[in-house]
Structures are given as C-alpha cells and as structure tokens.
C-alpha cells in the first residue's frame, strides 16, 4: 500500500487505476495475491507508457 500511496500522493483516481491494473494482472497470472513486486512492475510499466522511465 505504501508503494501505491507514494506513486499517487493519495489521489483516488490514480489509486483506482493502479489497483485495477494490479487485479487484472493477478487474474492473468492465476494468482489470488498482489505483492509489492507486482505493484512495482505495474508502476514501472505506467512510467514507460508515459515516457518518464529512466
């Protein structure tokens, strides 16, 4: 949850967006659990899509 808050600064719409991606990702992998590494991968992917990845 800390990763999500840090990435969104508590903005509800962004939290919802990240969590939705995380749930879709977990479903695709057949997992019942979303871990920190999954959130990190999702955040990195979102940065790449925005063109802000370093």
Q: 3-class secondary structure for the chain?
A: CHHHHHHHCCCHHHHHHHHHHHHHHHHHHCCCCCCHHHHHHHHHHHHHHHCCCC
Per-residue model confidence (pLDDT) at position 51: 84
Number of separate domains in the chain? 1
Is residue 54 scored above 70 in pLDDT? no
What is the domain extent for residue 27? Answer: 1-52
pLDDT 10s digits, 15-48: 999 999 999 999 999 999 999 999 999 999 999 9
Per-residue model confidence (pLDDT) at position 12: 96
Token reading at 53: 């990845």
Distance CA 29, CA 48 (A): 21
Token reading at 14: 């962004």
Per-residue model confidence (pLDDT) at position 50: 85
User: Mean pLDDT across the stretch 3-16?
Assistant: 94
Spell out the residues 6+ positions from residue 46 whose beta carbon is closer than 8 angstroms to its own. Answer: 18, 21
Q: How confident is the model at residue 53 (pLDDT cuts 50, 70, 90)?
A: low
């Amino acid at each position: 949850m800390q990763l999500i808050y840090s990435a969104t600064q508590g903005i509800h719409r962004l939290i919802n967006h990240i969590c939705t991606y995380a749930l879709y990702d977990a479903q695709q992998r057949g997992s019942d659990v979303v871990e920190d590494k999954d959130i990190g991968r999702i955040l990195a992917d979102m940065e790449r899509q925005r063109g802000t990845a370093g």
